[in-house]
Copies of this chain bind each other. A is one copy, B any other.
């Protein structure tokens, strides 16, 4: 009800705040007898973690995932998985200013209006730290989908206005920004460094591609696969737009250009992005998410205090310049969660 759960058969509920005890997730509906250990989370948690590059927030969290329940002798039991990630390196002092002032572009104003008070330390519940729990859940979703051969990979197609043009999929893992274009990746780095020097921040666009997804996932009408993907991706803080396949470009095409012809060995084009009528068609699923620049900047900004009087705010603390690259595993996790949920749903109603 209060919006902290996602999914229908595979139901995840996250909890926790940036500077509280930690963040965690309960996963209900995970099938039994899937092998799972704390090591399974290490790779993705590290990708989401800050402090790896000189351009991200210097906050350092080990982000070790504790499995509090649901696993016995190395295998899931069908009981709820509880995963917990302790907060260790939290410094709340720079947030004391939020006792009075709202940060532009942040949730402070709306949380205060809605709840009357809020845990402002590090952004509290609205902090990107909550996404650590999503990434952990995504690992489990990936395990559920494993036998299908589904692969979800995201890459950056735009950062700070710089577009990836020469796509070299092999370069994605080498680029600190998951960018498939080596030259663009280099220019993105410069843009990040420039913005950092100015105390400013940047946005970007990420494309997520899914291979190996069988036809038939997704439900007609409301719980369309693309509708659930849109919600999943838009629920990640800072995402302001999402598109599937040709997306906004499709609005400029004619039907004769946009329809993907069907041939005996599959679709001859993929402007649909792998989804027709809300159901996967067996082709690659392609979606893109647009992220606004991080609202935490070091420049002085106009705001008001809790009583509504004009004020100036100048933030101190540790911030990333751009949600990319740390948002990459989060977006992948959300897509995995949607697919795993719809996969399990499809097994109930055949």
Contacts and interface: CB of A to CB of B under 8 A. Distances in A.
A231 B200 CA distance: 31
B17 A69 contact: yes
Contact of A4 (B195, B220, B231, B297): B220
Given A13-B28, A256-B301, A348-B348, 7 more contacts: A1-B219, A109-B281, A111-B277, A113-B215, A235-B278, A241-B244, A268-B302
A114 B216 contact: yes
Interface stretch (A168-176, A179-187, A257-265): A257-265
Contacts of A317: none
Given A161-B252, A220-B111, A5 B11 contact: yes
B258 A1 contact: no
Contacts of A264: 304, 308-310
Interface residues of A, number: 152
Interface string A1-30: 111111011110111110011111010111
22 contacts: A1-B348, A4-B222, A13-B80, A20-B72, A24-B69, A26-B26, A78-B115, A104-B262, A108-B277, A110-B277, A158-B251, A222-B231, A227-B230, A240-B247, A240-B250, A241-B244, A241-B247, A253-B293, A254-B293, A256-B299, A264-B308, A264-B309
